[in-house]
């Protein structure tokens, strides 16, 4: 692989929309300063903070895990400590890792950060832990959905597609999901419209950091069914895998979209959607439904990134497939110019872009939403120059702008007015964006959730008026986010530092090819030829990484006093052991 290969991990990290990339200079510095003012929470709080898992179970399992794997020096020579470390993880954490790992597409060496630590010099949210895996899961729809409030059964994002299939009475075989029957009224008629609404990055941990910011969502809970223990079901907790899980009812090891980046058959590692929708290797509900119903039903989608298409499907790329109505974001000409709606050229043959949405009022006309979100009518948002944040796109102004366009699609496509139920898939990505820029516990996040929650009320009121008692809403998220290290005590593991120490230790064959192809937040992609050339084993690499301490690989300003010699990972092992674990 050449250093400038567009499919290399390094290049991937420069993709403007990649989860791994920073979108605002100095974002970390400012977020870090804010974080240092925050409360410092202990590991006890980390474990007890699990929204979806009984705290007692977390405490027992995870503290046992800590005791079992943090004694790096006690590993017996010649014995692989990987299985022991993997089995010492809390069972649901290990289950998420198993469901998310694919032998061809995932990185060979799985890394599980300790506690609140995360792998990224910037801000990331891709962990197998509860704080990025717990998601909201609300069904609402008088006439179809029970108004029973909270339900405690564990459910995952793989259960969404089968539940919709039950609602619209369209047979669909979900490989890993089951129907959330608690939500459904007994034998109702078919709804006219089902809306899947994803708050990207709006996991339970993020919402619970700002309990006053989502009154409208809270107000819907008693009128609907709220699964309190919903999780993504798999790791990594990031956008492409979980959206594909929502669309297919399968976990990543089955649907194949394992991460933001993945290995392709030619050995290269690149953005999982860079080679088109064929990355999804099992059918989505929307693809099968649209093909079967033809003009009797409409399938529509409004989001921002190709990664979100996993919840919709491959459209006309499939033989006989339908061109779903679909809109994404197209970047403006400069970093500060606002994007417009569109469909990237390479994807445009497979979907039908509703071009009329670009005739609506521009993003600029919604800047006031961002200005007023901080309570001060001063032309700025929390002191930020609104226009400088991608023309206002990286502010709460994005929400009403997108909602207006979504309403236009609902009107123009006559959603809810076909013979068979229509399906509408929506993703709002501003909560995730703000998490990447300022951390989950920032004041900017509090503002953003508030505006997103108002956008929910706006959309619900619009649909209740247009289709009273005839539509169903599912609101969920694809992952949570990381709070500032000052609050959590988490340490940021620097990808480049990790890459350097692994290269220094294991790549001595003297050629220019690097052993490490890509460092991802939950695994490392290694070059198979280089593993062979250097005569090393995944087990050796894993054992080495497991012993790494904060002083060697963590970002200096996140290393807590007295913790420089802490190991930064709870477990490191070859993914290939996952199918063979006996725990």
Instruction: Give the binding site for Ca ion (CB under 5 A).
Output: 371, 374, 376, 378, 507, 509, 511, 513
Residue closer to Zn ion, measured from CB, 19 or 570 = 19
Residue closer to Ca ion, measured from CB, 182 or 368 = 368
Identify which of 366, 349, 281 has the alpha carbon closest to the alpha carbon of residue 315: 349
Q: What is the 8-class DSSP label of residue 477? A: -
CB of 376 to Ca ion, least distance (A): 4
Q: In the β-sheet with 569-574, what is the strand arrangement from edge to edge?
A: 516-519, 523-526, 109-113, 569-574
Distance of CA 523 to the CA centre of its chain: 16
Residue closer to Ca ion, measured from CB, 14 or 513 = 513
CB of 381 to Ca ion, least distance (A): 5
Q: Is 15 exposed, middle or buried (0-12, 13-18, 19+ CB in 10 A)?
A: middle
Indicate the angle between helix axes 398-412 and 443-466, nearest 10 degrees: 20
Q: How far apart are CA 198 and CA 204, in angstroms?
A: 13
CB of 331 to Zn ion, least distance (A): 17
Candidate segments 17-25, 61-69, 176-184, 209-217, binder of Zn ion by CB under 5 A = 17-25
CB of 17 to Zn ion, least distance (A): 9
CB of 504 to Zn ion, least distance (A): 30
Positions 543 through 582 that interact with Zn ion (CB under 5 A): none
Residue closer to Zn ion, measured from CB, 271 or 432 = 432
Query: Is residue 271 a contact residue for Zn ion (CB under 5 A)?
Result: no
Using CB positions, name the residue nearest to Zn ion. Answer: 19
Residue closer to Zn ion, measured from CB, 431 or 515 = 431
Whether a cis peptide bond, with omega within 30° of 0, leads into 236 is yes
CB of 265 to Zn ion, least distance (A): 26
448 neighbors 219 (Cβ within 8 angstroms)? no
487 neighbors 41 (Cβ within 8 angstroms)? yes
CB of 268 to Ca ion, least distance (A): 17
SS3 for 83? helix
Q: Is 328 exposed, middle or buried (0-12, 13-18, 19+ CB in 10 A)?
A: buried
C-alpha gyration radius of the chain: 23
Question: What would the x/- binding string for Zn ion be over residues 19 to 48, using CB under 5 A?
Answer: x-----------------------------
408 binds, among Ca ion, Zn ion, none (CB under 5 to 8 A by kind): none
11 binds, among Ca ion, Zn ion, none (CB under 5 to 8 A by kind): none
Candidate segments 16-24, 98-106, 350-358, 460-468, binder of Zn ion by CB under 5 A = 16-24
169 binds, among Zn ion, Ca ion, none (CB under 5 to 8 A by kind): none
Q: Where are the beta strands (DSSP E) in 411-504?
A: 422-428, 471-476, 492-493
Beta-bridge mates of residue 96: none
**Half-sphere exposure in the Cβ direction for 64 (13 Å, CA):** 13
CB of 320 to Ca ion, least distance (A): 47
- Other beta carbons within 10 Å of 212: 9
SS3 for 231? strand
159 binds, among Ca ion, Zn ion, none (CB under 5 to 8 A by kind): none
Q: How far apart are CA 399 and CA 394, in angstroms?
A: 10
Candidate segments 14-22, 179-187, 221-229, 465-473, binder of Zn ion by CB under 5 A = 14-22
19 binds, among Ca ion, Zn ion, none (CB under 5 to 8 A by kind): Zn ion
Distance of CA 48 to the CA centre of its chain: 22
Q: What is the 8-class DSSP label of residue 491? A: -
38 neighbors 439 (Cβ within 8 angstroms)? no
CB of 125 to Zn ion, least distance (A): 6
CB of 23 to Ca ion, least distance (A): 21
570 binds, among Zn ion, Ca ion, none (CB under 5 to 8 A by kind): none
Residue closer to Zn ion, measured from CB, 10 or 19 = 19
432 binds, among Zn ion, Ca ion, none (CB under 5 to 8 A by kind): Zn ion
Q: How far apart are CA 458 and CA 330, in angstroms?
A: 25
60 binds, among Ca ion, Zn ion, none (CB under 5 to 8 A by kind): none
Residue closer to Ca ion, measured from CB, 512 or 561 = 512
Residue closer to Ca ion, measured from CB, 248 or 517 = 517
CB of 239 to Zn ion, least distance (A): 6
Identify which of 489, 482, 483, 497 has the alpha carbon closest to the alpha carbon of residue 558: 489
CB of 126 to Zn ion, least distance (A): 8
Query: Is residue 453 a contact residue for Zn ion (CB under 5 A)?
Result: no
Residue closer to Ca ion, measured from CB, 93 or 397 = 397
513 binds, among Ca ion, Zn ion, none (CB under 5 to 8 A by kind): Ca ion
Residue closer to Ca ion, measured from CB, 343 or 541 = 541
Query: Is residue 13 a contact residue for Zn ion (CB under 5 A)?
Result: no
Residue closer to Zn ion, measured from CB, 125 or 228 = 125
509 binds, among Zn ion, Ca ion, none (CB under 5 to 8 A by kind): Ca ion
What burial letters (b/e) apply to 458-494, b meaning 16+ CB within 10 Å? bbbeebeebbeebbbbbbbbbbbbbbbbbbbbbbbbb
Cα separations in angstroms, 88 against 48, 85, 96, 154, 307: 18, 5, 14, 22, 33
Residue closer to Zn ion, measured from CB, 28 or 432 = 432
Candidate segments 12-20, 114-122, 301-309, 513-521, binder of Zn ion by CB under 5 A = 12-20
CB of 57 to Ca ion, least distance (A): 44
Q: How far apart are CA 419 and CA 422, in angstroms?
A: 9
Positions 383 through 442 that interact with Zn ion (CB under 5 A): 432
Q: How far apart are CA 126 and CA 482, in angstroms?
A: 9
Size of the site for Zn ion (CB under 5 A): 2
φ, ψ for residue 260, nearest 5 deg: -65, -35
Residue closer to Zn ion, measured from CB, 19 or 176 = 19
Q: How far apart are CA 444 and CA 315, in angstroms?
A: 36
Give the binding site for Zn ion (CB under 5 A): 19, 432
């Amino acid at each position: 692989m050449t250093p400038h290969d567009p499919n290399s991990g390094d290049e991937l990290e420069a993709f403007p929309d990649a989860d791994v990339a920073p979108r605002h200079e100095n974002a970390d510095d400012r977020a870090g300063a804010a974080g240092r003012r925050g409360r410092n929470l202990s590991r006890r709080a980390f474990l007890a903070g699990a929204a979806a898992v009984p705290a007692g179970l977390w405490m027992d399992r995870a503290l046992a895990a800590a005791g079992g794997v943090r004694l790096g020096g006690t590993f017996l020579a010649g014995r692989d400590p990987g299985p022991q470390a993997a089995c010492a993880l809390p069972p649901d954490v290990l289950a998420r890792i198993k469901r998310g790992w694919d032998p061809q597409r995932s990185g060979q060496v799985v890394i599980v950060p300790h506690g609140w630590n995360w792998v990224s010099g910037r801000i990331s949210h891709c962990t197998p832990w509860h704080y990025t895996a717990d998601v909201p899961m609300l069904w609402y729809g008088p006439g179809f959905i029970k108004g029973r409030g909270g339900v405690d059964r564990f459910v995952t994002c793989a259960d969404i597609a089968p539940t919709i299939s039950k609602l619209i009475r369209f047979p669909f075989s979900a490989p890993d999901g089951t129907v959330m029957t608690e939500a459904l009224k007994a034998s109702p008629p078919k709804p006219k419209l089902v809306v899947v609404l994803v708050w990207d990055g709006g996991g339970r941990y993020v919402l619970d950091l700002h309990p006053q910011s989502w009154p409208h969502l809270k107000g819907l809970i008693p009128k609907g069914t709220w699964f309190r223990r919903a999780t993504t079901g798999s790791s990594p907790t990031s956008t492409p895998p979980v959206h594909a899980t929502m669309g297919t009812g399968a976990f990543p090891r089955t649907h194949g979209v394992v991460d933001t980046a993945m290995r392709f058959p030619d050995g290269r590692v690149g953005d999982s959607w860079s080679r088109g929708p064929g990355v999804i290797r099992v059918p989505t509900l929307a693809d099968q439904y649209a093909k079967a119903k033809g003009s009797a039903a409409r399938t529509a989608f409004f989001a921002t990134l190709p990664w979100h298409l996993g919840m919709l499907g491959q459209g006309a790329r499939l033989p006989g497939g339908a061109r779903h109505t679909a809109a994404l974001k197209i970047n403006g000409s400069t970093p500060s110019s606002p994007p417009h709606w569109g469909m990237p050229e390479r994807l445009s043959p497979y979907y039908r872009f509703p071009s009329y949405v670009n005739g609506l009022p521009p993003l600029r006309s919604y800047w006031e939403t961002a200005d007023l979100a901080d309570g001060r009518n001063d032309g700025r948002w929390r002191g930020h120059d609104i226009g400088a944040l991608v023309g206002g796109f990286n502010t709460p102004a994005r929400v009403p702008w997108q909602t207006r366009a979504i309403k236009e699609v609902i009107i123009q496509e006559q959603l809810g007015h076909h013979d068979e139920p229509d399906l509408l898939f929506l993703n709002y990505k501003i909560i995730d964006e703000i998490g990447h820029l300022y951390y989950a516990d920032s004041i900017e996040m509090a503002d953003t959730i508030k505006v997103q929650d108002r956008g929910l009320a706006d959309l619900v009121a619009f649909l209740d008026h247009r289709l009273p008692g005839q539509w169903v809403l599912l609101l969920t998220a694809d992952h949570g986010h990381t709070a500032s290290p000052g609050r959590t005590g988490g340490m940021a593991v620097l990808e480049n530092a990790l890459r350097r120490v692994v290269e220094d230790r294991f790549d001595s064959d003297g050629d220019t090819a690097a052993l490490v192809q890509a460092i991802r937040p939950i695994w490392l992609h290694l070059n198979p030829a280089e593993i062979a050339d250097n005569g090393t084993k995944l087990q050796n690499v894993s054992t080495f990484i497991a012993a790494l301490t904060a002083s060697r690989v963590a970002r200096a300003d996140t290393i807590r006093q007295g913790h420089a010699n802490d190991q930064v990972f709870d477990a490191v092992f070859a993914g290939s052991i996952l199918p063979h674990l006996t725990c």
